[in-house]
Amino acid sequence: MHLNQLFQRTVRLHGERPALARGRGPSLSYRELHRRVGALAGWLRDDLGLRPGDRVTLAMKNCLQYAEAQLAIWHAGLCAVPVNAKLHPNELEYVLQNSGSAACLSSGELYRGLQAVAGRLPGLRLIDVEAADYVAALGREPIPPVPGEGGDLAWLFYTSGTTGRPKGVMLSHDNLLASALNFYADVQPLAADDVLVHVAPMSHGSGLYGVPYFIRGALQVVPESGGFDEAELFELLGHYRSASLFAAPTIVQRMIQHVTAHGSAFPGLRALIVGGAPFYVEDIKAAVACFGPRIAQIYGQGESPMSITSLSAEQTAAAVASDDQAVLASVGGSQTSMEVVVLDADGRPAPAGILGEVVVRGPSVMKGYWDNPEATAQTLAGGWLHTGDVGVLDERGLLQLKDRSKDVIISGGTNIYPREVEEVLLQHVAVQEVSVIGVADREWGESIAAFVVCQDGMTVTEADLEALCLRSIARFKRPRWYFFVAELPKNGTGKVLKTELRKLAKPTS
């Protein structure tokens, strides 16, 4: 089913309900939003000459224009290409060129930075969503939705490219609808008075979670800052009730720090949907202690967005209350329409408790990689999405992730999974964040290096962490090197860039 059909249904049933708002400002109703979307779609089709199937890149911070442009792109039968607004224009050039984007909607500093890039791409129309012609387009006569099918491309998402050039993940309308249905069934059933606050980039998980909200006729709010600001979010959650947000673990940590510093929780918070990076056991416990039974978790990747496994807020809270370590160390069980299997070294399904590669199949799995049949064949071999993640399923069907296969450290012929070392180091009260990598070692192949960020106003020594490891894990898993840093390098979704850490790791002896 094409998402246009569901948006039309929402307008019929909930036309006067609030659809979009900026901060605490006045909201657009679904009927008003529908008119603007139809007008923009007509402008894209008739004035810019775009045709069904053309790609349109969205290169801007979170804003109202982002949400309405995304819907207008689908209304006109086009495909959205969301990109991280924090990327350098030269990095965006590859995405624009590889996707063959016919247009790019942007604003602010990013728009100005892209002007030189657009000059090198003669087929590209670069559009400033704050300019007069865009604003004027909102006043034109709306067009009806361009007919489409569920298999049409809706979202061409470029992977973060931590191991090379980004690949364009092709997601259809059916893929996004399957993800939305899994959200309703496994993560958070929605009511029409629910609110989604976009503190995380709309080019990633937060934007995709907008789909179940507009299907339900619920409100989406874009902060005036265009992202995450603790003080602003506190004010927004005092204004809006029953508000949820998608957040990387780093955002959750900053929210906890805000509560600790000010002695007041976020009043209108309904749920924190946490994903995009490892959420460690100690951090989960701290989040539940701070916010109560409002912490849900999801595991997905660009190739199956938000839709592999999940733990509901109720499951997470119950696991904390009973100190169920198996649940807390997991990313939950498979979502309703998904199959999750762990394959052993011979490519056969592994029994419970045996490590292997996590593979997935189901209706949210991508169609393939844009213009990359070799990578598509490799990643979708045998009809399964090969995630590249190493994990283990237990008897209850709970999946525990160990690491990306490329991040596994092999020392003296033994596999060491960084996450289990990170979990131990995070038990120290002075450690705020940590990331563990392998460093080339002539004797052992690789030895272990740990990058440590301390809590504000606190310190920890190598000896302290060494003693902690000796009490908790095998001696061969102890880091040989410690690097104390002010922050960990991360991409726009909060994932630690271990490739950057490897460049920084320069053992002194």
Confirm whether 428 is domain-assigned. Answer: yes
Q: Given the structure tokens 């948006």, which residue do they identify?
A: 7
Residues 71 and 74: their CA atoms lie apart, in Å, by 5
Do 357 and 464 belong together in one domain? no
Do 203 and 328 belong together in one domain? yes
Do 360 and 416 belong together in one domain? no
Confirm whether 284 is domain-assigned. Answer: yes
State the CB neighbour count (10 A cutoff) for residue 281: 17
300-304 long-range CB contacts below 8 Å, 24 or more apart?
300/179, 300/205, 300/275, 300/364, 301/387, 301/389, 302/157, 302/159, 302/169, 302/366, 303/159, 303/169, 303/365, 303/366, 303/379, 303/385, 303/387, 304/338, 304/360, 304/362, 304/364, 304/365, 304/366, 304/385
Query: What does the block give as tokens for 78?
Result: 């086009």
H or E element that contains 360: strand 356-361
Do 128 and 237 belong together in one domain? yes
Confirm whether 402 is domain-assigned. Answer: no
Confirm whether 107 is domain-assigned. Answer: yes
Do 281 and 426 belong together in one domain? no
Q: Which residues contact 457 (CB under 8 A, 6 or more apart)?
A: none
Confirm whether 7 is domain-assigned. Answer: yes
Do 80 and 224 belong together in one domain? yes
| Tens digit of pLDDT at every position of the chain (509 positions) | 999 999 999 999 999 999 999 999 999 999 999 999 999 999 999 999 999 999 999 999 999 999 999 999 999 999 999 998 888 887 899 999 999 999 999 999 999 999 999 999 999 999 999 999 999 999 999 999 999 999 999 999 998 654 457 899 999 999 999 999 999 999 999 998 999 999 999 999 899 999 999 999 999 999 999 999 999 999 999 999 899 999 988 899 999 999 999 988 899 999 999 998 778 899 999 999 999 999 999 999 999 999 999 999 999 999 999 999 999 999 999 999 999 999 998 999 999 999 999 999 999 999 999 999 999 999 999 999 999 898 999 999 999 998 777 788 878 767 787 888 998 999 999 999 999 999 888 778 788 999 999 999 999 999 999 999 998 887 888 999 999 999 999 887 778 888 889 888 876 55
Domains in the chain: how many in total? 2
Residues 416 and 431: their CA atoms lie apart, in Å, by 21
- What is the residue range of 430's domain? 408-504
Q: Is 130 helix (H, G, I), strand (E, B) or coil?
A: coil
Residues 457 and 262: their CA atoms lie apart, in Å, by 17
Do 500 and 383 belong together in one domain? no
Q: Which CATH number belongs to the domain containing residue 160 in this structure? A: 3.40.50.12780
Do 159 and 305 belong together in one domain? yes
pTM equals 0.85
Q: Which CATH number belongs to the domain containing residue 438 in this structure? A: 3.30.300.30
Do 146 and 256 belong together in one domain? yes
Confirm whether 468 is domain-assigned. Answer: yes
Q: Which residues contact 20 (CB under 8 A, 6 or more apart)?
A: 27, 28, 33, 64, 67, 68, 219, 220, 221, 222
